[in-house]
Amino acid sequence: MNVPFFRSPWQTPSNADSLGATFAHILQSGQYILGRAVHEFERELSARLGAQPVAALNSGTDALVLALRLLELQPGDEVVLPSYTFFACFEAVVRAGAVPVLCDSQAHDFLCSEKEVVACMTARTRAVMAVPLFGDASAIPAIARSCRAMGVPLIEDAAQALGARVHTEERGWQQAGTLGDLGTLSFYPTKTLGAPGDAGALTSRHAHFIDRAMSLRNHGLHAGCHSDVGYNSRMDEFQAAALVQGLGQLDSWLDQRKSIASRYLEGLAGLDGISLPCHHEGHAWNYFVLRCTQRDRLRAALAQAGVQTRIYYSAPIHRQPAYLKRFPGVHLPHAQAHAQQALALPLFPGMAEAEVDHVMKAVALASGRT
């Protein structure tokens, strides 16, 4: 049996058919960018995020660029962010003209804790970017509390965490994406809400940020004038219409992710040399990433058994050539160890039980359990 790392829900015939009909309508309408579907998606996503304003964008990367632009950073300002995250986080900071200060992950977990973030803050820190990596927002509330206490704006890059939730004493249940001053989302096909293409969004409880982002995404256009030097970060109607349909299925997709993750956590417990991801109530399970001391061997054995895996991430940002070209090297031992041990197993809505069983059998066999 072959198990792909990912299959998009848009590949299933019923979704493909209904999306095809929707796309035919859009083609006939002649309105392809920032039209009715985009506005409908913005309304529905905003409702899902507890009525927080939303600007639909072309990508999660541009959402980060716009978030930093809205904070009006000056050259030399520092932004604290994880080293163990997707490269786009770092790119956005560099493109804002700011200095990235990379912090280490925890030893037992891919996430940066509040302690690591605060240790990286200086008098020049003008923003913190926190990432609920792989769909786990559990570390964010403590970071948000410290940022509030210090008056430093928090960008929550929830690209992998739409649908994740966290519970705190003071605020009850909160949605990932709404935990900072600005929240960024990606709808890249493999994310919890995946589009059949590129798309993203910016959200904030501060409505003035979203008003300004709506102008910046469209070349700074405001009331017929270019009041800012902006960007082309617009969402198109095809992605928006698919995302409206996807939002309607998101809860079912999240439930499926959760039940596959539960099966993995139970079925793979206690295997030699394998550490399973931490389970937190509210985890959105965008990716199921284990750590394995013999990662490359495990990966090869799984490939042999027809199980496709991926590595998130094969090197932390501070070991990337693009970082080292501009900034001095730093030593972040946990991020480095994670990069050598992380392996993501297939986990996607629509994954068959037999596929999950096959993955678990192959992992158990490769790690010596018979």
Ligand X SMILES: *Cc1c(COP(=O)(O)O)cnc(C)c1O
In this structure, which amino acid lies at residue 250?
L
Q: In which element (H, E) is residue 358 found?
A: helix 353-366
In this structure, which amino acid lies at residue 99?
V
- The residue (of 189 and 273) whose beta carbon lies closer to ligand X is 189
Region of 38-46, 58-66, 266-274, 326-334 interacting with ligand X (CB under 6 A): 58-66
Q: In the numeric block, which tokens belong to residue 215?
A: 């102008």
Cα 215-61-246 angle, rounded to 5 deg: 85
Closest distance of CB 45 from ligand X, Å = 15
Closest distance of CB 254 from ligand X, Å = 17
Nearest by Cα to 83 from 333, 292, 296: 333
Residue with the CB atom nearest ligand X in the bound state: 60
Region of 57-65, 139-147, 321-329, 351-359 interacting with ligand X (CB under 6 A): 57-65
Binding of ligand X by 45 (CB under 6 A) = no
What is the 3-class SS of 14-49, one letter each residue? HHHHHHHHHHHHHHHHCCCECCHHHHHHHHHHHHHC
310, with CB counted inside 10 A (0-12, 13-18, 19+), is: middle
Question: Contacting ligand X (CB under 6 A), which of 86, 90, 231, 238?
Answer: 86
Closest distance of CB 133 from ligand X, Å = 7
Question: Contacting ligand X (CB under 6 A), which of 3, 99, 131, 366?
Answer: 131
Q: In the numeric block, which tokens belong to residue 107?
A: 């030893």
Pairing of strands 125-130, 200-203: unpaired
Binding of ligand X by 89 (CB under 6 A) = yes
Binding of ligand X by 156 (CB under 6 A) = no
In this structure, which amino acid lies at residue 98?
A
Closest distance of CB 73 from ligand X, Å = 18
Question: Contacting ligand X (CB under 6 A), which of 67, 159, 261, 271?
Answer: 159
* d(C-alpha 113, C-alpha 101), whole Å: 15
**Helix (H/G/I), strand (E/B), else coil: 167:** strand
- The residue (of 114 and 156) whose beta carbon lies closer to ligand X is 156
Closest distance of CB 352 from ligand X, Å = 26
Neighbours of 179 (CB within 10 A): 24
Question: Contacting ligand X (CB under 6 A), which of 175, 186, 192, 367?
Answer: 186
Region of 156-164, 174-182, 205-213, 215-223 interacting with ligand X (CB under 6 A): 156-164
**Contacting residues toward ligand X, per CB under 6 A:** 59-61, 85-86, 88-89, 131, 157, 159-160, 186, 188, 198, 200
